[in-house]
Amino acid sequence: MVLSQQGEWIYANECARQICQQLSPGKTPSNSVPQVIWQVCESLRDRLELLCDQEAIIGNEIKSNNSVNFRVRVRWLVLEDSAHPLILVTIEDQHQTRKMQAIADAKKYGLTRRETEVWSLHQSRLSYKEIADRLYITLNTVKKHIKNIYAKQQ
């Protein structure tokens, strides 16, 4: 997402629009930056005024109402034909990122389908008990899979 220093949307892809809608239900995403994101942007603006640092990156983690965690990073975007720097906002769905990392690990270490499922849930910060309940397996089976995964990673 690209914003002006006043918080006006210059550009947002569809994913950013959906996340903003999720963080601010009922508001029109085409003209409304969620307050939790704008607070991070304001921190960046304040830093520029204090330190004149256009290389700064400010980040924060945000939890939405439905327990989805997002990582928000903001930094300056300087374009040649723009009089003032713009704000570049990157929003990352933490669950999706962990899931993609688990899939990459599965390929890298040759994990089985079931080990991949267990590893994905483990990477999403679920407890062994929660993994067992979600996959309809015993707690000892989860422990065995995690032990095998760590062995393959050695």
pLDDT in tens, the chain (154 residues): 999 888 888 898 988 888 888 887 776 555 678 888 888 888 888 776 655 556 777 888 887 666 678 888 898 888 888 778 888 998 888 778 888 888 899 999 999 999 999 998 898 888 999 999 999 999 999 999 999 999 999 8
Both 82 and 119 in a single domain? no
Full residue range of the structural domain in which residue 84 is found: 2-93
Cβ contact 46:61 at 8 Å: no
- Indicate the residue among 93, 118, 135 that finishes a domain: 93
Q: Domain check: are 88 and 118 in the same one?
A: no
Residue type, 144: K
Residue 99 forms part of a structural domain: no
The angle formed by the CA atoms of residues 97, 133 and 22, to the nearest 5 degrees, is 40
Judgement on whether residues 143 and 79 belong to the same structural domain of the protein: no
Total of domains in the chain:
2
Question: According to the model, what pLDDT value does residue 65 have?
Answer: 65
Q: Which pLDDT value is given to residue 144?
A: 96
CATH number of the domain where residue 45 is located: 3.30.450
Check whether residue 119 and residue 48 sit in a common domain. no
Same domain, 84 and 114: no
Predicted pLDDT at 41: 87
The per-residue pLDDT for 27 is: 64
Does residue 100 form part of some domain? no
Give pLDDT, residue 8: 87
SS3 percent helix, strand, coil of the chain, rounded to 5, is 50, 20, 30
**CATH number, domain with residue 123:** 1.10.10.10
Residue 24 per-residue DSSP state: S
102, part of any domain: no
Determine the pLDDT at residue 28.
58
Residue 52 has a pLDDT of: 55
